[in-house]
Structure 1
Amino acid sequence: MKKIQLIWFVLLSLSFLACSPTDDALDEVNQDAGFLTKGIHPLQNTSDLDVLINDIGNSQYVLLGEASHGTAEYYEWRAEISKRLIQEKGFNLIAVEGDWPATYTLNQYIQGQQGSSANQVLQAYQRWPTWMWANQEVASLAEWLRQYNANQGQNNKVGFYGMDVYSLWESLDALRAYLEQANPEAAQLARNAQACLAPYNRDEQLYAQATAQGRSCADQLQQLYAAVQAHRQSRPPGDEAAFNAEQNALAAVNAERYYYQMVRSGSASWNLRDRHMQETVNRLVSHRGDNAKIIIWAHNTHVGDARYTDMVQTGEVNIGQLLREQHANAGVYLVGFGSYEGQVIASSRWGGSTQVMPVPAATANSWEALLHQHSPTNKLLLMEELQDIPEAMKTRGHRAIGVTYNPSSERGNYVPTVLPMRYDAFLFIDRTTALHPLQGM
C-alpha cells in the first residue's frame, strides 16, 4: 500500500510536472537581461490587453495557463482576457481543468437554469483540492457569465465545462440518474458498472491496486459507453442532456484507463489525461457547431507546448501541443503565466489543509528572475517578437507550482523551457497574492 500511495502522490499531486532542470538551465548567478530589447509591453490595466487581443486575431482556440493553482492574479487576468474574447471575438465556450460533473453543475447556473448563487453552486466541487474552482475569483466570473448569458439568445450563450479525467464515480452517478428516466435498459449497464466498482468504496487508489492484481471494470464501462453513444445518436443533434450523458460515459471510461495506467507508467497516465482533455475540447467544439470558439484554462504544464520543455525527453505530450498539431489552420494561441515572488494557496502534502504559502524570489537565471531583473513590474510578452533574439531562444528554468508545494525546495519546481516557442504570449506578474478559497472549503 505504501508503494501505491507514493505513486499516487507523485502523479496526482500534480496538475503540473515538476521537472528537475538541468544545471545549464539554472545557473547560480543571473545573466544580464539586456537582451530583452523588444516584445515586452506594460500590463497595468485591462486596456493593456489590447495588444494581446489583437495578436490573438482570428484564432479559434485560446489556451490560458497558470504557473500555480493558487494565485489570485492568474485567475483574475484569465477572467479579464476571457471576457474580452467573449465580447469582442465571439468566443462561446470555456473548458477548464476540472471534473466534468461538478463543472456541468456550474455551467447550468451560468446558463440561468439552477442555483441561487455561484458560491452555492461551487459547493459541487468536492474533490481535493477544492480551492482550484471553489474560490471567489471563479465565483465572480460565474456571476458575470450568468448576467452576460441572460442577455443572449440560446445559441449565443457561453458554455462552461470541465475537461479533466478523474471523475469515475461522480460521472457514473450523474449518468445513472439521467438514464433511469431516459433509457432504463442502459441504466442497468450503469448499475452493473457501479456494482463492479463497489468493492473499492470510491477509492481510486484501491481500484488502481486491484488492476495490478488482474481485476478490472473496463468491460462494464465500455459496454455502458457504447449504449450511451447509441442513445445519443437516437436523440436530436443538439440534445444537451444526451451530450452531457455521453461525456460522462467517456469520462468514466477514460478515468478507469487513467487509474489503470497510474500504477504502471507516469508518462502513459499523463498522456492519457491530456489526450482526454483534447478529445473533450474537440467534442465541445463539434457539439457547438460551426461558430464554436473555445477558451481553455489549465496549468502551464498542460497549456505550454511540451515540445519546448524537457517533457519531450520522456515522450510526454500536453493539450497545448496536441491542439497546435491538430488545429493549426484554425488558429491555436497559447498564453503562459509566471511571477517573481509573492504568495500562493497550496498544501504541504496531498489531501492536506489549505495554506497561504510564501513564494520566494525566483531562482537565478530562470525566466522569472530575468523578467524581474529587466524591470520589477507586471508585463506582457508577445513571443513572436522575441524569436529572432538568440539569447531569448535559450532553454531556461520556468517555475511551475502544483497543489502541493514546499517553498524551501524551489530548485525542483522549474521546467527547462524555450519560452518564445512554448507560448505565443506570456503574462508576467512580478508579485502575486494568494487565491481566495470560499469559506468552508
Structure 2
Amino acid sequence: MRERISRELIGKKGFSFIAIEGDWPDAARMDHYVRHAQYPPSEWTAFARFPVWMWRNREVRDFVDWLRARNALVEAYKRVAFHGLDLYSLYNSIRSVLNYLDDIDPQTAQVARLRYGCLTPWQADPATYGHAALTGAYQTCEREVVSMLTDLMQKRGGYAEHDGERFLDAVQNARLVANAESYYRA
C-alpha cells in the first residue's frame, strides 16, 4: 500500500523525496542507490535492526528498484531522494562521519576519532552511557560531539564544494551523533 501511495505522490504530485521512519545511515545507502551513486542491491545490509515487515522486505526493495529506474530517466538534480528520520543510529552515524572525513580530510578524521572515542566504551549499550553520565560516574561526551558538528559546519564551504551530497550526509550524521548523545544522556 505505501509503495503505491509513494509512486502516486511522486508521479502525480511531483514529490521529490521519500522520508521514512528509519535510520539516516541506512536510508542514505538506499538514497545513494536510487540516485545512482553507489551500493548495488546485492550489497544492501540496510535496516538490519528493523523487523522484516517494516523496511527489510520485498515491497520496499521493489519500490527502491522502481525509484532507481525512474531516477535513471531524469537529470541528476530532478532525482527523487530517499531519507531516514530516526535518531538512534549512534555508532553507524559515527562510522559514516569517519568514513567521509577519511576521504575528504584525514587530519580532521583523526580529531573526530578522538572526540567520538569518548563514546566507545558504551557502544554496545548507549543507555548505560546515559545512566553513567547522569549519576556522575562518567563525564559526558556532549562537548566533544558538539565540537565535531561545529567543526564540520565551519568547514562546509570547502567540504560542500567537493561533494555536496556527501557533505550533507556527513553533517546529518554528525547531527545525529550529537542528538543521540543528548537523547541517551537525558
Distance in 2, Cα, partners of 1:159 & 1:203: 32
Question: How far did 1:131 drift?
Answer: 4.6
When residues 96 and 237 of structure 1 are mapped into structure 2, their CA distance, relative to the original with a 3 A threshold, is farther
Q: Is residue 197 from structure 1 mapped to residue 119 from structure 2 by the alignment?
A: yes
- Contact kept, 8 Å, 1:172 with 1:248, in 2: the verdict is yes
Q: How far apart are residue 128 of structure 1 and its match?
A: 4.3
Unpaired segments of 5 or more residues in structure 1? Answer: 1-76, 262-441
What's 2:182 paired with? Answer: 257
The one-letter amino acid paired with 1:210 is: A
Task: Compute the TM-score of the two structures, normalised by the length of structure 2.
Answer: 0.90
More strand by share: 1
* Aligned position for 1:116: 40
List aligned pairs for 1:387-398, cutoff 5 A.
Answer: none
Contact kept? 2:145, 2:177, Cα under 8 Å: yes
Correspondences of 1:102-181 after superposition (within 5 Å): 102-117=26-41, 120-129=42-51, 131-181=53-103
Distance 1:115 1:168 in 2: 21
Report % sequence identity.
36
The number of equivalent residue pairs is 183
Greater shift in the superposed pair: 166-175 or 188-197: 188-197
> Contact conserved, 1:197 with 1:217, CA < 8 A, in 2?
yes
- Tell me the distance in 2 between the aligned counterparts of 1:206 and 1:198: 12
Q: Secondary structure at the match of 1:163?
A: strand
Q: Which consecutive segments of 4 or more residues in structure 1 shift more than 4 A?
A: none
**Aligned-residue offset at 1:210:** 1.5
- Whether contact under 8 Å (1:85, 1:91) holds in the other structure is yes
What are the Cα deviations for residues 224-283 of structure 1, in whole angstroms up to 9, with x where unaligned? 00011112233339711111111110011001111112xxxxxxxxxxxxxxxxxxxxxx
User: What SS does the aligned partner of 2:45 have?
Assistant: helix
Question: Residues 24 and 86 of structure 2 are in contact (CA less than 8 Å); yes or no, is this contact kept in structure 1?
Answer: yes
**Contact 2:87/2:180 (8 A) holds in 1:** yes
TM-score in terms of structure 1 length: 0.40
Task: Specify every segment of 5 or more residues in structure 2 that has no aligned partner in the other structure, as ranges.
Answer: none
Shift in Å at residue 211 of structure 1? 1.8
1 or 2 for the larger relative contact order (CA 8 Å, sep ≥6)? 1
1:216 is aligned with what amino acid?
A: T
- Where in structure 2 are the equivalents of 1:197-236 lying within 5 Å? 197-214=119-136, 215-234=139-158, 235-236=160-161
1:93 aligned to which of 3, 17, 21: 17
Instruction: Return the offset for 1:200.
Output: 1.5
Equivalent-residue separation in structure 2 for 1:128 and 1:110 (angstroms): 20
Mapping for residues 396-415 of structure 1, pairs under 5 Å: none
For 1:99 and 1:237, locate their aligned partners in 2 and report how far apart those are by CA, in whole Å. 25
- CA RMSD between the two structures: 1.9
